[in-house]
Amino acid sequence: MDSRPIGMFDSGVGGMTVFKELVLELPNEDVIYIGDTASFPYGSKSKETIINLTKTRIEELIKENVKMIVIACGTATSQALEEVQKMFDIPIIGIIKPTVEYLKQKNIKNIGIAATTGTIRSGGWQKEIEKSIDNCHIQNKACPLLASMAEEGWTNNEIARLTIHEYMKDFENIDALVLGCTHYPLFEDLIKKELLSNTEVINTGKIVSKAVKDYLIAHNIENKGSRKAEYKIYLTDTECNFINVAKHLLPDTNMIEKIQKI
């Protein structure tokens, strides 16, 4: 038993799609989330910058005495996870490995990846999938506008519909589309409308939350306490639309009452 919180971070509100699933899957766990809104977007930055930003967010979370860290960001997972796992002792989980494990278990071979420019450039998803799944066919698509539109709250208007149409039209014969950026589940309904009905749209948050639960149980570090879980949200810059977008995502808006600047 370990009653310390779980730490999470993303460049902005995208990681809240993971937060939402995590608090549903693990209702006893306290969570501390950092939205690095001062550095948004991560998707267009160099690998070196992403490693530095990831390192800084992890140091901040460690100061908050978290027991493990979830990188709720595809861009930081694909470019910095390996490096920070070497630098820090604390368990750090990203969004790629658990999702690839899921694809493997379900024997999904024709896979689309939609992600930020940096993630696609890194080949992070492609390498991990090819390592685990034989004879797979992968189609990659960078969708650089989506994360900014999500931060703006433009997830269900005409511009979002046209943008999603433009990005989705190149995917052909895929059995599953991985939303390889944590902002993209905010567009899930529009994305589903653009794909064939038998294409599974994969929200990594659901899978990652189950992986976190398995990890906590396997290492006997769940919070078995009976008091109500506490959530703390920090932003590196508060001049943004984070609260409005996050409110639409969460079942209980009290969860984001305590937003503070870190």
Residues serving a catalytic function are 73, 181
Q: What distances in angstroms separate CA 161 from CA 33, 43, 190, one per listed residue?
A: 29, 21, 6
Q: Is 155 in the site for ligand DGL (CB under 6 A)?
A: no
- Tokens matching residue 54: 């990831």
Cα–Cα distance for residue pair 45/186, rounded to 1 Å? 22
Cα–Cα distance for residue pair 246/14, rounded to 1 Å? 9
Among 73, 186, 201, 262, binds ligand DGL (CB under 6 A): 73
Among 5, 7, 9, 14, binds ligand DGL (CB under 6 A): 14
- Tokens matching residue 27: 């209702």
Q: Is 140 in the site for ligand DGL (CB under 6 A)?
A: no
Q: Is 94 in the site for ligand DGL (CB under 6 A)?
A: no
Q: Which residue is nearest to ligand DGL (CB)?
A: 43
Query: Quick one: 116 or 163, whose CB is closer to ligand DGL?
Result: 116
Among 37, 182, 209, 236, binds ligand DGL (CB under 6 A): 182
Q: Per CB under 6 A, which region of 50-58, 70-78, 121-129, 206-214 contacts ligand DGL?
A: 70-78
Residues β-bridged to residue 177:
112, 201
What residues make contact with ligand DGL under the rule CB under 6 A? Answer: 10-11, 14, 40-43, 73-75, 116, 119, 147, 181-183
